[in-house]
Structure 1
Amino acid sequence: MGKKLKRVVAASAATALGLALAACGGDSNDGDGGSGNNNAEPGQAGGELNYLQHFLFEAADPQRIYYGVQLANWRRTVYRGLTAFPMSEDPKVSNTPVADLATDTGTMTDGGKTWAFTLKDGVKWEDGSDITCEDVQYGASRPFANDVITGGPNYTLSYIDVPQKADGTSTYPGPYKATPEQQKQFEDAVSCDGKTITFRFNKPWVDFNAAIAGLMMVDPYKKSADKGDKSKWNVLSNGPYKFVGGKFDQAKGGTLVRNENYDPATDDPEQLRLALPDQINWKVNDSDTAGETFNDQLIEDSPDVQNAITTARLAPQQLLKVQSGEPKERYTNVVSPYTDYLVVNAKTVTDPKVRRAIGLSADINGFIKALGGELVSEPADSIINPGVTGYKPNPAWADRNLDGDIEAAKALLQEAGVNGKVKLKVAYQKSPTYDKAFSVLQESWNKAGFDVTLDGQGATYYDVLASPDKDIDIAWAGWGADWPSVMTVLPPLFDSRPNISATSCNNDYGCYESDAFNKLIDEAANAASVEEQIAKLQEADALLGEDVGYIPLDNQKFNWMHGSKVTGFTTTAASSSYPELGLIGVKQ
């Protein structure tokens, strides 16, 4: 996802109970190998569900949505796409797109440069009008107006085959400012023929149907309903629910009721959206204590939250309360789609042996214990999350000593000809929990022959990390895949060409540069199949391990509570390991 999104991912991770983002991926297994569904009773139809949200969305406009939980939940309720990810608890199934508004998952030709989809008959907006090919075409045009449609994913801007400027940006300014010639150029690249829409790209996009299942960047949008930025909080539904008043209130939420113009015969409810409650009361409270308060109420099963689920993870101090007794029956622990890692500044720590010594001496088990233990995180062996298609342990980190191999690190430093202590400044987003966790790493690094200074930073953390001249040797970061593809992990983080300039390293926080790595990324981008692409990306990840382009830390875990009247509670890879709203019901 976009850089802004990743900053929020990382910021929330530092609190160990904040908001996690990104679109897809994630492992749907719970901490003891179960499904993550601790409520054996199946979801029931009817009644009202309360959805308790402890943070603010940034938009209700489909082309501007970039929160993973919002993408997942609104795909189940108000916004259908050409394709979607199913609600299976099997990650392999839920990471495989299926048809939604389209009759199938698309026809790929020209080595992945062309994709065609045909709309189903009978799909309608909440106002009763038909969803047309032109609606999809118009929706796909809106992200190009990135001075108006801000904050959302922008992948299509570099793929759709419209003329580009010398710097690689599009000459098409979006539908609001385009000249007739510019609009024609776009409509030649994204063209309609009856109910069939064809996307023509300037390079292969072999998993485009997965990308649009996870992100809403080419979702249909009705031109006559578009008021530009004034449409930011409007919702014209094509799903089983609609918002009362056609709007979502950023600070308060909204009420979802049945959409009478939704026809389940055009859908696959069993796979994509059971839409069990008659009404969903979306309640937003973004106060500093809201999340903890929600979960205190859920632990006690207070009467007004017995029919409730929440976006708020249990705080570490609440976890002990739900490990036994009745609350345990309503508690779920699940691996999230988000992985934390360290990058070593390639400009200040130039010797790969020294970088490897940093990685080998890190006390990962102690770090995780300080975060809150196995209920909060598990050790990572790659920057690629286990829920992402194409994941495999990075050979460089698969068998390391998770307690920290001090002697191996000392030997590497000796091989590197190091005399005396190696001074290192380590940056992370400051919080009481992360202060403790990084003190553990500091201790193990110092034992190995380093002299480590900790530099906990505040809200401008990622601005500092992006600087090519930063006074930082090691930095913490977090990432989650936009859809379950390694292409949404390795290239945005380590391809130096779009990242590094005279003034910024952008998402390549260690300012890592490798022609060999970039070559593998190009080969993956031009692969003729997903399988070929995965093989090239796995090779690229192995190269990063050899170069110590990153040091994996942990895969975050989510801890969820729900009320006693909630039925069918589970999480899936398709729900970003948040509660799977498409399967959840309430007792009457």
Structure 2
Amino acid sequence: MARTTLRAAAVLAVSTALMLTACTTAPGAESGDGEPQTGGTLKVLANGDVDHLDPQLVSYVPTYNVMRSVSRSLLSYAASDDAAERIVLQPDLVEEVPTPSADGLTYTVTLRDGVTWGAPDGARPIVASDVARGIERLCNPHISGALAGYFQGLIAGMAEFCTGFAAVAPEVGPIKEYIEGNEIAGIQTPDDRTIEFTLVEPASDFPFMLSLDAADPAPIEALDALPDSPEYRRGFVSSGPYQVAEYTPDAKLVLERNPAWDPESDPLRKAYVDGIEMTMGVEGDAAMQQLQAGSADLLFDLSPSPANIQQLKAANDEKFSTMENGGVDQFMWMNTASANNGGALTKLEVRQALQYAIDKSAVVQTMGGADLAGVTNGIFGPGILGYQESDQYATEGGKGDPEKAKELLAEAGYPDGLTLKMPYRNVGTQPDIAQTVQASLERAGITVELTPVPPTDYYANFMTNRDNASSGAWDIALVGWSPDWQGGAARSVFQPQFVFDGTPQSYNYVDFDSDAANELAAEALAAETPDEAADLWHQVDEAVMADAPIVSIAYRLKSNYHSARVGGFEPYAQSQNGDWTNVWLTK
């Protein structure tokens, strides 16, 4: 996704079927699951596959648990049941969380002793040039990293490096030659353990970006294959406690211990289990049955269904848990690029009418009720710096006000209402949510024509196809968004969706832009304290919502479940699931 450059927010002050081997007690603190145990194979069930096995390209939330296991980051997060603790930046490959230079433009990190690659010819130290190489790979001409834009506009000289890279043939030889023959001016490696990042403007949320796998080091072997190609995956070189033993796309991923990993160099991963086996192509109900029977342990891209959740909560099953992720699961874009209805959605009063028309509380009930979801009124969800409970279009209990909506429509010249086209993903609860929204709008005199779209096509081929917006193929559409990192992540919500600098962005479907919001964002990103930044980001939220480009509807708590034999289940914030590298098997 293309991103534009903004100065950054202040860092938060606190800012499956292998036989089970015998388990032995490992050093560790007592927990509700007893003492940690080593050994065994953790069995994970998945419906789909990872998005990538190449760290530079990963952006799919479930995949972060795979990356946690095989690829170490410069900075990361500790797994924790405490919502505040699990979003505090922690050193991973580096010795400490960096602070900026006096002018705010330089960050220097030092690699730990003992960090190694599980290279084909044996353990080899991870060095500073590996870090530079990783970031250089982000904008390769074969397949650019989805999160490359955050770095490209911020690290000095990276935009120029990437412009030159774009002219290179997308083949192994030219890519390797370009990376080895060029450098990013803002990444200097004065010795094997030191990396100096120079930015084009102060960006105190830059350390948060270094927690992304997009910024993971890349071994020299990564240049011997096209990014994330079958050849790359077969030759994947691990830096984490596990390495790839077997991989069959859309079927199975097996991880085994990486003999090059030194536990003394890793403060965040205990690696209790001997191996991890992920079986793909499993449906939700079948997966839950296996977890409850103890024949599998964790879920990858699956969550308990609303019916499952009701049963688990009624039984007070302690293996079920929920967590906030800072995202807004349901919000509705309004297509101001469409000429449908005489360009009605270009009128503020019409967009405001839709704000009042939707019964958000009914959507929350469709999503499972207040135990699993909640009403939202802005661009940020709970758990992100800048989120505050406020509402410029308040209605009692979030139930909507159809009469107010009709009044606004009449003022805008539509006393007889509108007819709007709404695509929706025909998967899970999305059809029910779409019908709930349809019923809400009908109360305000708005007819909604629903069009089902396969979930695999919805974003990739429908919503991000700009011709669909300009031609009026849709008028309103339900989407969702989660921040790309944890903690001070307001930039990763605002920048890709609500900023337009002349270059279309994939997820800003109608090139929305607000001068007022942009100015406030610049202040927020230069704020000296988290409290100041939070207040300014809230003002950004209010400025966007004053223009009403979206109807913010609801957030969804991430639901997780695990088998009875899993001990030490604590969420890893990036994956929004239990941390594979810190759970153990109790039997």
Question: Displacement, 1:481?
Answer: 0.7
Could you tell me whether the CA contact under 8 Å between 1:240 and 1:258 is conserved in 2?
yes
Matched with 2:141 is 146
Deviations 1:260-300 (A, max 9, x none): 332232222xxx222222x13322222xx53331112223x
Q: Deviations over 1:209-248 (max 9, x none)?
A: 11121x112212221453222213533222223333xx64
Matches within 5 A, 1:31-70: 40-42=32-34, 44-48=36-40, 49-70=42-63
Task: Give the Cα separation in 1 of the matches to 2:352 and 2:184.
Answer: 51
- Deviation by residue 1:304-326 (Cα, 9 ceiling, x = unmatched): 33x55554212334334323448
Pair 42,410 (structure 1): closer, same or farther in 2 beyond 3 Å: farther
Take 1:356 and 1:330, find their aligned partners in 2: how far apart are those partners?
A: 43
Q: Which residue number corresponds to residue 236 of structure 2?
A: 235
Write the distance in 2 (CA, Å) between the matches of 1:97 and 1:540: 24
Decide whether the 8 Å contact of 1:53 with 1:282 is kept in 2.
no
**Matching residue within 62, 73, 77 for 1:81:** 73
Where 2:38 maps in the other structure, the secondary structure is coil
Aligned amino acid, residue 514 of structure 2: S
- Superposed displacement of residue 54, structure 1: 2.2
Contact 1:311/1:578 (<8 A) preserved: no
User: Within the alignment, does 1:318 sit opposite 2:302 as a pair?
Assistant: no
CA distance in 2, matches of 1:164, 1:577: 32
In the alignment, structure 1 residue 223 sits paired with structure 2 residue 257: no
Describe the superposition over 1:473-516 as per-residue Cα deviations: whole angstroms up to 9, x where unpaired. Answer: 2211111110130100011101122554xxxx731224423333
Shift in Å at residue 391 of structure 1? 2.1
* Alpha carbons 1:397, 1:545 under 8 Å: kept: no
Structure 1 residues 531 and 492, CA gap change in structure 2 (3 angstroms): farther
**CA deviation after TM superposition for structure 1 residue 208, in Å:** 1.4
The structure-2 alpha-carbon separation of the partners of 1:431 and 1:57, relative to structure 1 and needing over 3 Å to count, comes to closer
**2:492 is the alignment partner of 1:492:** no
Distance 1:391 1:409 in 2: 26
Amino acid at match of 1:74: M
- Please give the alpha-carbon distance, in whole angstroms, between the structure 1 residues aligned to 2:158 and 2:114: 35
Residues 1:99 and 2:91 are matched in the alignment: yes
1:71 aligns with 2:64: yes
Deviation at 1:188, TM superposition (A): 3.3
Q: Check the 8 A contact 1:43/1:569 in 2, yes or no.
A: no
Q: Deviations over 1:57-80 (max 9, x none)?
A: 1322221222222224432x2221
User: One-letter code of the match for 1:129?
Assistant: R
Aligned pair in 2 of structure 1 residues 499, 517: CA closer, same or farther (>3 Å)?
farther
Task: Give the Cα–Cα distance (whole angstroms) in 2 for the partners of residues 397 and 46 of structure 1.
Answer: 54
Residue of structure 1 equivalent to 2:198: 200
Matched with 1:577 is: 576
Distance in structure 1 (CA, Å) of the matches to 2:382 and 2:435: 27
Q: Is the 8 A contact 2:73 2:93 kept in 1?
A: yes
In structure 2, what residue type is equivalent to 1:461? Answer: Y
Structure with the larger RCO, 1 or 2 (CA within 8 Å, 6+ apart): 1
Match of 2:483 in 1: 481
Cα distance in structure 1, aligned partners of 2:78 and 2:395? 34
In structure 1, the residue matched to 2:340 is: none
| Rounded Cα–Cα distance in structure 1 between residues aligned with 2:397 and 2:410 | 19
| Alpha-carbon offset, residue 403 of structure 1 | 1.5
User: Which structure 2 residues correspond to residues 353-364 of structure 1 after superposition, within 5 A?
Assistant: 353-364=349-360
3-state SS of paired residue (2:321): strand
Go from structure 1 to structure 2 and tell me whether the alpha carbon gap of 1:60 and 1:433 turns closer, same or farther (over 3 Å shift).
closer
Structure 2 residue identity aligned to 1:133 = A
Label 1:553 to 1:285 Cα distance change in 2 as closer, same or farther (>3 A).
same
Indicate whether 1:386 and 2:382 are aligned: yes
1:539-550 equivalence runs, <5 A: 539-550=539-550
Over 3 Å counting, the alpha-carbon distance change for 1:187 and 1:543 in structure 2 is closer
Q: 1:335 to 1:293 in 2, by over 3 A?
A: same
Structure 1 distance, partners of 2:537, 2:551, is: 17
Q: 1:185 deviation in Å?
A: 5.5
Which amino acid in 1 is paired with 2:140?
A
Instruction: Report if the CA contact (8 A) 2:158-2:185 is conserved.
Output: no
SS of 1:443's partner is helix
Please identify, of 427-436 and 468-477, the stretch whose mean Cα deviation from structure 2 is larger: 427-436
Q: 1:199 to 1:364 in 2, by over 3 A?
A: same
Pick closer, same or farther for the CA change 1:543–1:199 going to 2, 3 Å. same
Q: Partner letter of residue 127 of structure 2? A: T
In the TM superposition, residue 91 of structure 1 has moved relative to its aligned partner by: 2.6
1:417 CA displacement: 5.0
The one-letter amino acid of 2:185's match is D
Stretches of structure 2 that go unaligned for 5 or more consecutive residues are 4-11, 13-30, 338-342
After superposition, the C-alpha distances for 1:439-470 in whole angstroms (9 at most, x for unaligned) are: 22222222223233333333543344342414
Alpha-carbon displacement from aligned partner over 1:357-404 (angstroms, at most 9, x marks no partner): 211121112223234434553222332121223322354256664122
Once the 2 structures are TM-superposed, how far is the Cα of residue 332 of structure 1 from its aligned partner? 2.4
8 Å contact kept, 2:570–2:579: yes
State the alpha-carbon separation in 2 of the partners of residues 545 and 78 from structure 1. 41
Cα RMSD (Å): 3.2
1:552 aligns with 2:542: no
Q: CA deviation at 1:172?
A: 4.0
Query: What SS is found at the alignment partner of 1:440?
Result: helix
CA contact (8 A) 2:101 2:107 kept: yes
The answer to which of 90-99 and 152-161 deviates more is 152-161
Q: Compared with structure 1, are the counterparts of its residues 152 and 575 closer, same or farther at alpha carbon in structure 2 (3 Å cutoff)? A: closer
Equivalent runs, 1:425-444 vs 2, <5 Å = 425-431=421-427, 433-444=429-440
Question: 2:291 aligns to what?
Answer: 298
Letter of the 1:345 partner, please give it. N
**Correspondence for 1:18:** none
Q: Point out where structure 1 has 5 or more consecutive residues left out of the alignment.
A: 4-24, 26-38
Asked if structure 2 preserves the Cα contact closer than 8 Å seen for 1:294 and 1:310, the reply is no
| Contact 1:345/1:512 (<8 A) preserved | no
1:457 aligns with 2:459: no
Relative to structure 1, is the Cα distance of residues 223 and 398 closer, same or farther in structure 2, using a 3 angstrom cutoff? farther
TM-score of the aligned structures, taking structure 1 as reference length: 0.81
- State the Cα distance separating 1:552 from its structure 2 match: 1.1
Q: CA deviation at 1:583?
A: 3.2
Give the CA deviation at 1:542. 0.6
SS at match of 1:226: helix
Question: CA 1:169–1:552 in 2, change beyond 3 Å: closer, same or farther?
Answer: same
1:527 and 1:280 map into 2 onto residues whose CA distance is 45
Residue type at the aligned position of 1:290: E
- Which whole-Å CA distance do the structure 2 matches of 1:138 and 1:507 have between them? 28
Give the 3-state SS of the residue equivalent to 2:100 in structure 1: strand
Q: CA deviation at 1:113?
A: 2.8
Cα distance, 1:585–1:431 mapped onto 2, change above 3 Å: closer
Which residue in the other structure is 2:514 paired with?
514
Separation in 2, partners of 1:373, 1:436: 14
Query: Percent identity at matched positions?
Result: 23
CA contact (8 A) 1:389 1:486 kept: yes
Give the paired residue count: 533
1:68 partner SS: coil
**TM-score of the two chains, using structure 2 as the length reference:** 0.81
CA separation in 2, counterparts of 1:314 and 1:179? 44
Is the contact between residue 292 and residue 312 of structure 1 (CA under 8 Å) also seen in structure 2? no
Structure 2 partner of 1:403: 399
1:189 is matched with 186
Find the partner of 2:82 among 72, 78, 90. Answer: 90
Cα distance in 2, alignment partners of residues 309 and 370 from structure 1: 23
Q: CA deviation at 1:51?
A: 1.9
Task: Please say if residues 496 and 512 of structure 1, whose CA atoms lie closer than 8 Å, have aligned partners that are also in contact.
Answer: yes
